[in-house]
Structure 1
């Protein structure tokens, strides 16, 4: 079966847009040299993840986000990365603070570019408490048709809910691509034993397994904006197995050669065919479909 090289980046975050651009361009070139057809970067990788851990300094984070935000797809730095994707004949997923059409409106956005140029973008749907001070939430789950297969995009906190990945999968996505800014939780264990590492890894594996889809995640690594980001940029197969992971300390690109169609077919065969449609009982999910009231978090 045809093999495809996939790359994902454990990215050292900064708030220097020029430095971040240079890092992107370097890693894109490195991934292309490794024959990768796709390279993935974290959320807000162009400008850095806003320093929202200390809410007393949130005004500074808002000011910086407003100053460095760019429009999609015609922002100057966005255009540089789209051009790089075309030059190196590679698909690239990168994150940025997107300037909306109305002044002051910002989104946490992933952009997908490829050998033919700009393909599309996704705005983060599930925002954390701190992110709500800076960003507006997105409201849809687009799936993009590429030569690699159909790609669905998510951002970080989105993967904490099964519904996002399931929506993308039922819309045809074969590759679930997640850009993250996932940090260690203070006081909840050291290094690989930190609760945030366990959650990150489990969400990646379970979301791949429950949807029988490939999942590629990219995360920041190291100290950035007062947080300690955990890395673990990884590629997960449709049975929930880790194909490759950057681990806790690695900085830069990791790659794996995978059989995209073969992996999907193997997962389908294990479950005696396309179970997500055949065995799904949407008619019984009465709270999800709105016919029964929600009784938690009320």
Structure 2
């Protein structure tokens, strides 16, 4: 039996980079004190998320104000991530940030250690006006780390089963889903645990873990930023869909010790062979494009 101690955070991050470094450093110290080998931090750790999600109902004045207040765009090989790598040392750390690629911005995540970046990812699925601020990524790819083969997703990606399945088929044993997941935009509940978007967040986490038989680690932002209030709910979910540790709807650090290889063996050899028993030859409609009314677009529609 070889257990890996994993920690995941629900924490608050804003535009002040020095405060972000202090918060990340404190979480790294706490995770290390708990014996963790992996720490998963939220989306947009370095400079915070968007102040609002915008959309079709946004005024031009509000749009310009939001675009003027974007998070800093950072390079993969820049000093900011090197600073986090130095803090990480031998700890594997996953975190989100705004990545610069020339003049193009991406909502991005990296997994790194003191030796450098192990894997990077650009968010594929964009909610409610996020495309006004970021370009979209184009692939899901797993990568090797000292604690097993991992994959990464960002926030809204978790609502798409194909995204997690793609990582599982690429050999991911652990999927880190980093988020800045807010409460519902309309009819938000006073208590976070009653909010319907909190409930969706939790449902997606457990479903993605059990249907792909992976260790699922979901981080999230906490507190408020601009018009957004975040639901916390950071958690570690086993490959059977069982929640091994969670912060609930409070900020903090959730930690669990997991024998990754044994947990996957028990799930994948325990009578449900989700990956083995797939029938891709009958899934053609899954990759058809859909129109705005939810009906598949016909190949000849524009002929």
Whether TM exceeds 0.5 here: the answer is yes
Alignment of 1:167-246 (within 5 A): 167-185=166-184, 186-191=186-191, 192-246=193-247
For residues 99 and 3 of structure 2, the distance between their equivalents in structure 1, rounded to whole angstroms, comes to 34
1:79 equivalent in structure 2: 82
Task: Report if the CA contact (8 A) 1:7-1:255 is conserved.
Answer: yes
2:141 equivalent in structure 1: 142
For residues 266 and 215 of structure 1, the distance between their equivalents in structure 2, rounded to whole angstroms, comes to 16
RMSD of equivalent CA atoms: 1.7
Alignment of 1:1-298 (within 5 A): 1-53=1-53, 55-56=58-59, 57-65=62-70, 68-72=72-76, 74-86=77-89, 89-100=90-101, 102-103=102-103, 105-185=104-184, 186-191=186-191, 192-249=193-250, 251-271=251-271, 274-277=273-276, 279-290=277-288, 294=290, 297=294
Task: Report if the CA contact (8 A) 1:49-1:225 is conserved.
Answer: no
For residues 82 and 142 of structure 1, the distance between their equivalents in structure 2, rounded to whole angstroms, comes to 21
Deviation per CA, 1:141-160, whole angstroms, max 9, x where unpaired?
11110121100000000000
Using the TM superposition, give the Cα deviation of residue 52 of structure 1 relative to its aligned residue in structure 2, in angstroms.
2.1
- The 3-state SS of whatever aligns with 1:240 is coil
Task: Report if the CA contact (8 A) 2:98-2:108 is conserved.
Answer: yes
- The 3-state SS of whatever aligns with 1:270 is coil
Task: Report if the CA contact (8 A) 2:17-2:47 is conserved.
Answer: yes
For residues 15 and 93 of structure 2, the distance between their equivalents in structure 1, rounded to whole angstroms, comes to 21
Runs (4+) of structure 1 exceeding 4 A deviation are: 293-296
- The 3-state SS of whatever aligns with 2:49 is coil
For residues 276 and 254 of structure 1, the distance between their equivalents in structure 2, rounded to whole angstroms, comes to 28
For residues 51 and 242 of structure 1, the distance between their equivalents in structure 2, rounded to whole angstroms, comes to 31
Structure 2 unaligned segments of length 5 or more: list them: 296-303
TM-score, normalised with respect to structure 1: 0.91
Task: Report if the CA contact (8 A) 1:21-1:77 is conserved.
Answer: no
Task: Report if the CA contact (8 A) 1:218-1:233 is conserved.
Answer: yes
- The 3-state SS of whatever aligns with 1:287 is helix
Using the TM superposition, give the Cα deviation of residue 63 of structure 1 relative to its aligned residue in structure 2, in angstroms.
2.8
For residues 280 and 12 of structure 2, the distance between their equivalents in structure 1, rounded to whole angstroms, comes to 42
- The 3-state SS of whatever aligns with 2:74 is coil
For residues 139 and 282 of structure 1, the distance between their equivalents in structure 2, rounded to whole angstroms, comes to 21
For residues 290 and 69 of structure 2, the distance between their equivalents in structure 1, rounded to whole angstroms, comes to 38
